[in-house]
């Protein structure tokens, strides 16, 4: 793996990862409470998948 600064890793992957996990978990919580949370769950899942693809393309092993 190339040498990337911690700021790039933090801003590029850690913060968006927390944001997408928040969407995902909020969707699960809303579905559990029988509210409308399917859209939030789908957005969180898509964002996590996109972040994983971005990580695989930008930082190959």
Residue from 52, 50, 56, 48 nearest 27 by CA: 48
Q: What is the pTM of this model?
A: 0.72
> How far apart are alpha carbons 45 and 61 in whole angstroms?
24
Residue 47: φ, ψ to 5°:
-65, -40
What residue segments make up the domains of the chain, in order of their start?
Answer: 16-58
Band (pLDDT 50/70/90 cuts) for residue 2 is low
> How far apart are alpha carbons 23 and 28 in whole angstroms?
9
pLDDT in tens, 3-55: 667 777 777 788 888 989 998 999 999 999 998 889 988 998 999 999 888 88
Band (pLDDT 50/70/90 cuts) for residue 61 is low
> How far apart are alpha carbons 44 and 5 in whole angstroms?
27
- The answer on pLDDT for 1 being more than 70 is no
pLDDT for 7: 74
In the chain the first and final C-alpha atoms are separated, in Å, by 5
């Amino acid at each position: 793996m190339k040498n990337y600064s911690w700021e790039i890793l933090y801003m590029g992957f850690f913060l968006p990862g927390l944001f997408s996990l928040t969407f995902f978990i909020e969707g699960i919580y809303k579905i559990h409470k029988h509210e409308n949370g399917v859209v939030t769950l789908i957005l969180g899942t898509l964002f996590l998948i996109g972040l994983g693809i971005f990580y695989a393309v930008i930082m190959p092993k």
